Amino acid sequence: MTTKLKIFNKSQLKEGLLDIRPGDTVRVFQKAVAKAPEKGKPTENKKKQKVQTFEGLVIARKHGKGISATITVRKMISEIGVERIFPVHSPAIEKIEILSRAKVKRSKLYYLREVKGKKARLKKKEFVQAVAPKEPVVVEEEPTEIIAEESENIGKAEENKEAEKGQKESNSEE
C-alpha cells in the first residue's frame, strides 16, 4: 500500500473498541438514513437519521483488526435466524456494546446455524467490561494532611518516649 493510503486507513480506525470475539453477545448501534418527503413539497426530500440496534451473538470475526475488519452477528427472531455482517470501523456504526461473553473453542461458530434448542446454548463466562473514565480522577488533599498531622503526633509520641527513657535511666543511676 502507498503511504497516503496507509495514513487514510489509520485515520479511519476507531479507537477505544473493546476486544470483540466470537461467542460475545453484542448490541450494535447503526446509523440509518431514511428519505422522507416533506408535505407540500414532493420534489425535495429531507434526510432523517435514526439509530437502529441489532443485538445478537458474534459467530465470526474476519479480516483482522484493520480497516476492513468485520463481525457477523446472529440472532433468532421467532425461530428464524437472522445474520448481519457489520464492518467494525464503519462510520455508520455508532457504537458496539459487549453484553456478555461465552466460553467457545472455535473461531467461527457456523455450526450454530444447524443446531437448535439446548445444543445451541453456550456456556457463559464471567465478563467485566473495563471502561476507562472519561475525566481524570482528582485525588483530594485532605488524606495527606491527616497523614501529616498523624506523623507529627507520632513524632511527639516518640519524643515523649525518649524523654521517659531518659528519666528512667537517670532514676536508675541514682
Q: Which of 2-16, 19-33, 64-78 bottoms out in mean pLDDT, i.e. has the lowest? A: 2-16
Nearest to 85 by CA among 94, 68, 96, 72: 72
Q: pLDDT band for position 49 (50/70/90)?
A: confident
Indicate if 119 and 145 belong to the same structural domain: no
Share of the chain above pLDDT 90, in %: 28
CB 79 within 8 A of CB 39: no
Instruction: Give the pLDDT score at 132.
Output: 43
Instruction: Give the pLDDT score at 40.
Output: 63
Indicate if 71 and 96 belong to the same structural domain: yes
Alpha-carbon separation of residue 134 from 16, 137, 158 (angstroms): 12, 9, 45
Mean pLDDT of 47-56: 89
Mean pLDDT of 157-174: 64
CATH number, residue 14: 2.30.30.790
Q: What domain range is 104 assigned to?
A: 3-34+48-125
Q: How many domains does the chain have?
A: 2
Instruction: Give the pLDDT score at 14.
Output: 83
Indicate if 65 and 143 belong to the same structural domain: no
How crowded is residue 29: how many other Cβ atoms within 10 Å of its Cβ? 14
Tens of pLDDT along 95-139?
Answer: 999 999 999 898 999 998 888 877 787 887 777 664 444 455 455
Whole-structure pTM over 0.75, yes or no?
A: no
132 inside domain: no
CB 59 within 8 A of CB 18: no
